[in-house]
Structure 1
């Protein structure tokens, strides 16, 4: 018996070592067949290890299931009464049965048995066995992509009473709770404790709670340091680095390049000033991630763990360098001194080149044929991960960033056709079809890239690229056009690649066919992306958005698309709008969406005086000196789709027009704030509103050296978007714009034809697509129930900024509630988060009017509204509204981050996701008195059952425009109605 245990333990150590080499992805879409299980001669499962998968060049160490031997080693002795437990409830037998199901790929059955095993262990008083079984169940759930359930299972393992992951984390899981987790794990072995904490940290990152993920992983690091296990420490550090990287990317998404350039400029000029406070930015978190990766590589006893950490470090260094190139472009416009950037560039280059050389030499040192199967497999995936970094960051067929120039020669050497062919052969010998398909696909992509560089050989190279891409697809599916859900994460990319190749060969119809299959596969996969891993938002820009744009461009390429291709292009634009919302919230939109076939019927029958304008901004070629190609599709009631001939707009002119438009408005907002501060400090101005407006308008003029400049830009954009439509719209009264991202922050109502503003002619609506438009009209009369809430007193917002008082809020709320028969009001100290929740539950309003400060940013975590007692974040607001019956959400004092192209997504998305039909909000901060007057007029018009929401807003805006004190667009143009306008 003693000899048997020694043998088992020896094999166990070898296999655990191999398992710790596992390379998986932070962005995995698991397949049920991905599990591999090793058994002892007696049938005992000693290792379960998922097949590695990866996206985006981010490696994580796989979390192998805790084996029965490990559980028994760390467990307390079972009490005597455990032998009385029947065979059916014997925890050991239940755990073994769970593993058998897991071996056969029956994961849901395995999870049931692990749950039963956990309960049986708990009954027997064995907390080690209970916790380990729940951790194993959680790993299985993760493999199926059920991260919220996996999270709840881990919370159960750590004995939280509330195991609703999202609810607990949002409301109760404080950082104090996290610090107290060791008290819940005192009876556990170090391995179980570290595995559980690390697994919880991974899950929290994947479901979007990055700060808590970091706190849990820091705690796991403390535990493993006390345990003094270098290998486990390196895997925890790798997980911690991935979370720190995700935090940095989240911060970077919210950073505006222009503002960032100003920050860098200030830092360069004031860096030696002891009173200068350096702004927090993504680079702070990136540096933490780099340090964690570096520590993980240095402390690891496993060569593969070292390579994984180095791969992540390499990917991040290139990502930093690439991202900052855009910042530098902005900085050079205002400051020719680039010492800061040159220093950073040297640092990144000096780190990147030797790191890649080290990875390359390590991969070459392995004697592949002599390695165990598991180590071979992980080395193959390490090389594929390196290829992924190369193709996505340094050899993209549509992009050649300067950031990769120092490492490009070495990358090309590593990824020669002969090298990739060897990876194909190694994967084939391992009988790993996914790895083999990846490698063959990369070989096809390499030929595709070479065809662009070697034009005299392009036809031959494109033929090779096509052959290899088809070979990879056939390896996964007998019929390469089959829309199977198996391996969607690979097949959609290969079909996309095939579409690009057909396009380059001039075979447009075959290209459209391949793009269509890729598009449909991606649509099927996308809900899994946002459910499985919230890091997928960083995948959106590189994969989801380009595929949509390229497909739409191909459908519209010949300038005279068929009705069928027009419909397909319209549906692609609708899909992109929906994908942007899902990506912003990192959750699959819960709204019941209209089907594609219902879109035309909605306009034809329910909105017969409305026109829908779809825009998509594409490049006119794939070269660096491309121009903008603006496509417009028009939908009129009871007519076929109309395609407006595309406009070619100089790229510099397009960008500068939009930038100047936003900058002029920003300057005028600053002028408004300047005079308001003067008014607050001057009693005479406070008393004399008329005098105040005179001074304000004078201030506006002084801040605009060219009084006609704003109007010129508004007229230029009118020429792009509106002028081509005028001959088509007939008796249309409402223009519904589905705008592409670069155009989404435009104040549509203020666009000018040379004589009139657009709002003086038509009602204007901003839509995220008809799929997301609830067709139900707003209830009127006694059916309309209004909850009005606001804060007029100065409060600190989420950023700690003291927001000014809003004295007109009192008048605004009093007047709008007078006009409605069924109302409730929460003002100042009454407007607390709890009171707001209670009113929503008890009163169930159809319209919610919030007159308070707030900010809609490009990051949902930095988006909020100000209540009296605390700030209500976007996710909290969404949760509060989901329990109500709201049709319209009005945000009368909130603002979006002007010019931030993603900020309007929050404004559009919060009500949509909560089931509300529409949102009325502001693109920039409104003036207090003008806002109150406009809102009062809006509700007066809304009382007329013959006036829809869009027309009510138009009439309110015109009322303000006709007031000479408020005629400037600054006062009335920021208001925008999003989605349903009926």
Structure 2
């Protein structure tokens, strides 16, 4: 099972046929499908014991199972049922497997045994075997032409895939096709469900299987919620309501979760609009967010009332916890009043007392113990929560109760979570002995048969922190490393689901990776590791930092394109195996920690060097520059560059100070006689500044005058390779006229004609689309018809804090989104058709937000382009045309790398006052405001 999203929300099992036994057992519609939140996601099996018994009851009551051929088979099946209900899952599996082996020629019997084997396999964490068993059940039911049951098994298999972090596979089984989020507006408001004939939803429809259809639609809704397509999720959940208009508290809970997820997306969109200065959009998204939060509240309220009227305490508890969490997350906006919140808290405590031993009781106890009035965090176990509603004694009693209940249930996943939660309680109270005791118990339970791999990284991380409290540094690092490796294994699904709400990454992935890097670096700093191990340790630091960069990119774009371009070799091996390619190149990677920032220098065939950023003008421990101080200095640097247009002569004071902090410590290692190019792999706020403009006060030169400068998100996603540039076609896209996008006005770019003319003068084989001729559709059509190795875009490009706010402004007040750009470029027929170079000359990023500059750094990779030249801010001046023309002239020189081509163009502008007037370059262009924002991204060769 893999982590999915901000609330650890996930579905439990699907029991669409329980309605058939409404008069036989008092279950009603209690477990059609269940959506849980937060760490309850870590257990989808709490109803499986009931599910198994009821399935067999149904099969025999309605003669869906052929009588066993031999008494021995019957005995094995019955013993398996007893074992399952006693929690002896491995014994149950053994008995059923034996029954299956003895009864191979009875497809009806084999089908029922296989579907319940699947549930037992899931109980012990053997999901691969569960999938195989459900697939076999589908095959066997198909063999006896029980198509209705085929559809039901497809829904249950879809549930397993969704639980495992593969909601797209779930959607394929349930409906047969995926609705693209980018096309949702075309179908907005339509409640028509269009699925393929062999899908679970259509099978249920054809056979008038009401409960099967509700289950399929419900799981579809949850699967779409998990991939961040909330509009489609809500559509399917409402469609399920229409099938069964009578209220269902589980359906109401799912709708509440879907509306809450969409409300959080709207909050993020409002924040993005605010940073972009689009205040009308900010108000619009804020209103939408409030409306969705209110809708979620009503669904949770109704779910609680219905559960109370039907005397379903487990369901009532789930609804109360959902309502409490909603109140906690929206405390500032008061979606739920303090009185309602406190009453829900008290009601939950009362219900909890009388709950039977169950997963809901375990997780409910933990939820309430760690409940805060306001928290936006993903998990309470990545930090010590403050202002908890429960007193220490009450919280401790609740957590002890959860451990006792999990032991009674003999469920590894529950035991892992309960012990880990109690261990964290003692960690926050500085009782490291008790903390380590319970945390180690959590690790043992989670590691047993890999039954809780998705929580194992949490407890390994927690153990590392506790060991660090005990000053057991090397053991702590070992725990952090294990947590890192587990998280690396499962992070793909964490980062590519519910991608619009980005708190998962900031709360879970980034802190762990940085903690591991910090611990290794600090251990090296005090000399606790032998010299021969230092190189290995630094290499592992590099791998950790590189993994962080990849994770950030994948999280931002929310898909697997980054992984498809990933070089499997570690960074160290890449440098070693490509030493000839990387000759004369130095790589500077930064890592920003809580109180300081480190820089690593890598050179081919040389030992990695590491230094903390220090202020040479300070003494002793105060020499270390705090990350806060560095961030302020970087912000001053960028602001000074952008405002440089107002100054006749640029003040290099801050640029020189930063050079002394970042570059000078490595001066002896990067002598210009041997190192010609510096490639920066930046972290956080350091991405937003052009390193080319750092100033060497000793040599009285900008950095770019000594080295060609480039940037890349990660070496493992960069393919350095020199291409033939002698004859190349170029597609030129330009916008001169003023445009309005989403209420934001983008000024006319009067220098674009001059820039476009400069490009045309160098490339005779070109196609241009200007103003109204430059729209997304025409761009796509041109790429479909002709291969263009170079795409030059002279228009505003905005990089926002979410991908939806990352776009290029086109004619007719339209925009080319990052998704449209990617789709157009990735639809090219072959590798030979790919775009080698993308040039964007009028970009805008959200100042002060490292996510927007991450979008800029990753855009080339995301759209499948080898290299990009882009600006960190918009310079609407003829200087851009001057720089572009010089760059392309140099670029056409086969012996010059892309980084060098840009370097020479920038040096030419720096020397504007020294050049003869015949060259016609404006002398003010020596100011870095005109040349510094243009950076080379990706392949610098």
Common topology (TM > 0.5): yes
When residues 747 and 11 of structure 1 are mapped into structure 2, their CA distance, relative to the original with a 3 A threshold, is: farther
Distance 1:110 1:477, change over 3 A: closer
User: What are the equivalent positions in structure 2 for 1:323-338 lying under 5 Å apart?
Assistant: none
Which among 727, 730, 734 is matched to residue 790 of structure 1?
A: 734
Q: How many Å separate the matches in 2 of 1:219 and 1:27?
A: 26
In structure 2, relative to structure 1, the CA distance for the partners of 1:939 and 1:43 (3 Å cut) is same
Cα distance, 1:11–1:716 mapped onto 2, change above 3 Å? farther
Deviations, residues 878-930 of structure 1 (Å, cap 9, x unaligned)? 22222331232222223222222101222222321343222221212221422
Alpha carbons 1:248, 1:286 under 8 Å: kept = no
Structure 2 contact 729–790 (Cα < 8 Å) conserved? yes
| Preserved CA contact (<8 Å) 2:842 2:873 | no
The one of 641, 644, 648 aligned to 2:608: 641
Equivalence for 2:390: 410
Does residue 572 (structure 1) correspond to residue 544 (structure 2)? The answer is yes
Correspondent of 1:234 among 241, 252, 256 = 252
CA contact (8 A) 2:734 2:774 kept: yes
How far residue 172 of structure 1 moved from its aligned partner, in angstroms, is: 7.4
Q: Is 2:789 the partner of 1:846?
A: yes
The SS at the match of 1:899 is coil
How has the CA–CA distance of structure 1 residues 415 and 243 changed in structure 2, closer, same or farther, with 3 Å as cutoff? same
Indicate the residue corresponding to 2:492 in structure 1. Answer: 527
Q: CA deviation at 1:426?
A: 0.7
State the alpha-carbon separation in 1 of the partners of residues 134 and 378 from structure 2.
42
Q: Taking structure 1 as the reference length, what is the TM-score of the superposition?
A: 0.75
Structure 2, unaligned runs of 5 or more? 1-17, 62-103, 122-128, 196-201, 528-533, 615-623, 829-833, 913-921
Contact kept in structure 2, 1:890 and 1:919, CA below 8 Å? yes
Flag the 1:469–1:934 CA change in 2: closer, same or farther, 3 A: same
CA distance in 1, matches of 2:902, 2:291: 44
Match of 2:304 in 1: 297
- CA gap of 1:549–1:659, structure 2 versus 1, over 3 A, is same
**Alignment partner of 1:890: what SS?**
strand
The answer to whether the aligner puts 1:432 opposite 2:450 as a matched pair is no
Q: How does 1:333-482 map to 2 (within 5 A)?
A: 352-364=341-353, 366=354, 368=355, 371=356, 376-387=358-369, 404-405=386-387, 408=388, 410=390, 412-416=392-396, 418-451=397-430, 461-477=431-447
The answer to whether the aligner puts 1:781 opposite 2:726 as a matched pair is yes
What CA distance in whole angstroms lies between the structure 2 residues aligned with 1:599 and 1:132?
Answer: 49
Structure 1 SS opposite 2:821: helix
TM-superposed deviation, 1:746: 1.6
Tell me how large the CA RMSD over aligned residues is. 4.1
The counterpart of 1:243, out of the listed 239, 247, 261, is: 261
Contact 2:867 2:940 in 1 (8 A): yes
1:497 Cα deviation after fit: 1.1
* 1:174 aligned onto 2:174: no
Cα 1:765/1:491, change in 2 over 3 Å: same
| Structure 2: distance between partners of 1:424 and 1:400 | 20
1:973 maps to 932
Aligned match of 2:689? 746
Pick closer, same or farther for the CA change 1:285–1:959 going to 2, 3 Å: farther
**Residue 7 of structure 1: CA displacement?**
9.8
* CA distance, structure 2, for counterparts of residue 911 and residue 27 of structure 1: 39
Give the counterpart of 2:777 among 834, 844, 864. Answer: 834
- Are the counterparts in 1 of residues 266 and 285 from structure 2 also a CA contact under 8 Å? no
The Cα of 1:432 is off from its aligned counterpart by: 0.9
Q: Which residue of 2 aligns with 1:39?
A: 53
Question: What residue number does 2:231 align with?
Answer: 211
Aligned to 1:39, what secondary structure does the other structure show?
helix
Distance in 2 separating the partners of 1:429 and 1:290? 34
In the alignment, structure 1 residue 876 sits paired with structure 2 residue 846: no
CA distance in 2: counterparts of 1:906 and 1:598, whole angstroms = 27
| Counterparts of 1:292 and 1:286, CA distance in 2 | 10
Report the secondary structure of 1:736's partner residue. strand
- Provide the residue aligned with 2:708 in structure 1: 763
SS at 2:513 equivalent: helix
SS of 2:820 mapped into structure 1: helix
Taking structure 1 as reference, are residues 883 and 587 closer, same or farther at Cα in structure 2, changes over 3 Å only?
same
> Taking structure 2 as the reference length, what is the TM-score of the superposition?
0.78
Judged with a 3 Å threshold, the aligned counterparts in structure 2 of structure 1 residues 815 and 464 are, in CA distance, closer, same or farther, namely: same
Aligned counterpart, 2:880: 931
> Deviations for 1:49-92, whole angstroms, at most 9, x for unmatched residues?
xxxxxxxxxxxxxxxxxxxxxxxxxxxxxxxxxxxxxxx99998
Shift of 1:655: 4.0
Aligned residue in 2 for 1:318: 328
Contact 2:416 2:452 in 1 (8 A): no
Q: Which residue pairs with 1:65 in the alignment?
A: none
* Aligned 1:812-823 pairs, distance under 5 A: 812-820=755-763, 822-823=765-766
2:126 is matched with: none
Q: Aligned equivalents of 2:537 and 2:494: distance in 1?
A: 28
1:234–1:297 contact (8 Å) kept in structure 2: no
1:82-117 deviation per Cα after TM superposition (whole angstroms, max 9, x unaligned): xxxxxx999988975763463454443455467669
Distance in 1 (CA, whole Å) between partners of 2:690 and 2:639 is 13
Corresponding residue of 2:842: 893
1:546-945 map, 5 Å: 546-558=511-523, 559=525, 562-588=534-560, 589=562, 590-596=564-570, 597-601=572-576, 604-619=579-594, 628-647=595-614, 648-650=624-626, 653-662=629-638, 668=643, 700-701=646-647, 711-731=652-672, 732-754=675-697, 755-782=700-727, 784-797=728-741, 799-820=742-763, 822-868=765-811, 870-884=814-828, 885-945=834-894
Q: Contact 2:377 / 2:507 at 8 angstroms: preserved in 1?
A: no
2:467 corresponds to which residue?
A: 502
> How far off is 1:730 after superposition?
0.7
Could you tell me whether the CA contact under 8 Å between 1:221 and 1:236 is conserved in 2?
no
Separation (CA, whole Å) in 1 of partners of 2:827 and 2:34: 46
2:848 partner SS: coil
- After superposition, the C-alpha distances for 1:19-61 in whole angstroms (9 at most, x for unaligned) are 66774669957899996542359664599xxxxxxxxxxxxxx
**Which residue number corresponds to residue 490 of structure 1?**
455
Match of 1:457 in 2: none
Q: Shift in Å at residue 839 of structure 1?
A: 3.0
Using a 3 Å threshold, how does the CA distance of structure 1 residues 774 and 652 change in structure 2: closer, same or farther?
closer
Distance 1:490 1:394, change over 3 A: closer
State the alpha-carbon separation in 2 of the partners of residues 100 and 439 from structure 1. Answer: 27
Displacement of 1:939: 0.7
- Secondary structure of 2:680's counterpart equals strand
